[in-house]
Structure 1
């Protein structure tokens, strides 16, 4: 069992840190709003710390799951940042979905301090985090990954090393690109079924067993049909992720026309007041 710091107790980080505690690891948590840290320690035991640096002191692994590039920099760098408290040979594991640019920037700083770095964004949403069934895509050295994988396994369904530092983030971009087009297509399909006065349950029962089937179809069609979007991965965060995808595509000279279009559709949902709705809310703009 390892001594671990977990930084960031949002809808993903809170249960992920909980799985580490339940697996028997010694966990110290940090969260920007201290109430969440108090709630977590009341539920799972362990300790909380007032700064990332204090949380990271003596930890073999420091796991992070925060919001964006700037949030990640703020918990890593500076006098109160995690890197200032980490021992040489400790490993920083970042589960945040951020740009590969900031990943490589921070990995270089970590390397200069003798700290290992694994970028390890996740897919599977809130339900995957709560059930310990996340897909984890990692970038880093083989040695750092081999040390970190048994810890990550506490909340992973699958965990794979995709390449050097940054490869985890670029793999997550592939994931978000695929989801964007899929959710839009599913929204159009369900809206077409509604307008055609078909029974959506029967439609999904049939087409989900063929080539059209997907996780989104099986797990989201009921709530999409009901117009219930108060769960899952928020539109605001999806737009952040798609922005990273589109910026990276420009950098590497790749065209993502469907992704760019769906990003604008999500902007429409935000303008409808749905920034915190689940990403399946794309169907709402087709009903508007």
Structure 2
């Protein structure tokens, strides 16, 4: 297949390229860094002129699938900056333009679990999004807007759209400012971990290797619609204990702070599990036919 990946130089994009390029023709779009191959093109997808430039380079051959990773990320310094909302909305609109003109059959859009409220409860794909109750509100709103914008602009095209509301992705190469690298760094520097909210907050996590495995499955089985994607839900305290087993020692101190987030938010992944079960049965049936 011919697959176009936006944000290919990011944490997930690089891992995805390394896996998919073994058996697919990959085109990449990146906004910073160096190209991973001669089929990777630099572009600012917030700009329609850049999007049209990409179209001219790739339009001679159709694209089967777009995997959309490119995004303006939020950090501690810009959590409430509306530029995140504006940038990601512009990217989504231009992505729709790209998808239309490339005659794409399937679009896999990376949304986020931040579209949901970060409160106690179990949230499936039919739960009402409410990023207003999430500290990542503006980013979550931008991802929800992205889903809506893509659905709107591609509503009259025969393109299957899969929105992945992904939990926190972790692994080698992740943002060093995220929770897991921060805890690892504190162990190295101080042989301690400091946990807020007494470490009781729930975390929905997925390893980068498992996420890549799931994306490969979605490529083969284009489901469409919204899918929550997570591998496990654990407390921050249990996560810290796991990290201490790998990075610390018997003297590593756990410091529990009362103040902080105590929410017990659970991402319901039963729809994902049903897809995985269907895939397993499908492969078993194919194996029997080939015997």
Bigger relative contact order, structure 1 or 2 (CA pairs below 8 A, ≥6 apart): 2
TM-score normalised to structure 2 length: 0.45
Higher helix share: 1
Higher strand share: 2
